[in-house]
Amino acid sequence: MSIFQGLSAFPITPADASGRIDTTVLARLLMRIAEAGADSIGLLGSTGAYAFLTREERRRAVETAMDTVGGKIPVIVGVGAIRTNDAVALARDAKAAGADGLLLAPISYTPLFDDEVFEHFAAVANAGQMPLCIYNNPSTTKFTFRPALISRLSKIANIEAVKMPLPSGGDFGSELASLRSITGPAFRIGYSGDWGGAPSLLAGGDTWYSVVAGLLPSQALALTRAAQAGDTMAVERMDAAFGPLWALFKEFGSFRVMYVIAKVLNLCDVDPPRPVLPLSDEVRQRVAAALDRLNDGFSN
Query: Which residue among the candidates 50, 95, 163, 259 is catalytic per the annotation?
Result: 163
Residue 135 appears among annotated catalytic residues: yes
Query: Which residue among the candidates 50, 95, 109, 135 is catalytic per the annotation?
Result: 135
Residue 163 appears among annotated catalytic residues: yes
**SS3 per-residue string spanning the chain:** CCCCCEEEECCCCCECCCCCECHHHHHHHHHHHHHHCCCEEEECCCCCCHHHCCHHHHHHHHHHHHHHHCCCCCEEEECCCCCHHHHHHHHHHHHHHCCCEEEECCCCCCCCCHHHHHHHHHHHHHHHCCCEEEECCHHHHCCCCCHHHHHHHHCCCCEEEEEECCCHHHCHHHHHHHHHHHHCCCCEEEECCHHHHHHHHHCCCCEEEECHHHCCHHHHHHHHHHHHCCCHHHHHHHHHHHHHHHHHHHHHCHHHHHHHHHHHCCCCCCCCCCCCCCCCHHHHHHHHHHHHHHHHHHHC
Task: Say whether 232 counts as a known binding-site residue.
Answer: no
Over its C-alpha atoms, the chain yields an Rg (Å, rounded) of 18
Sequence ranges of the binding site for pyruvate = 47
Catalytic residues: 135, 163
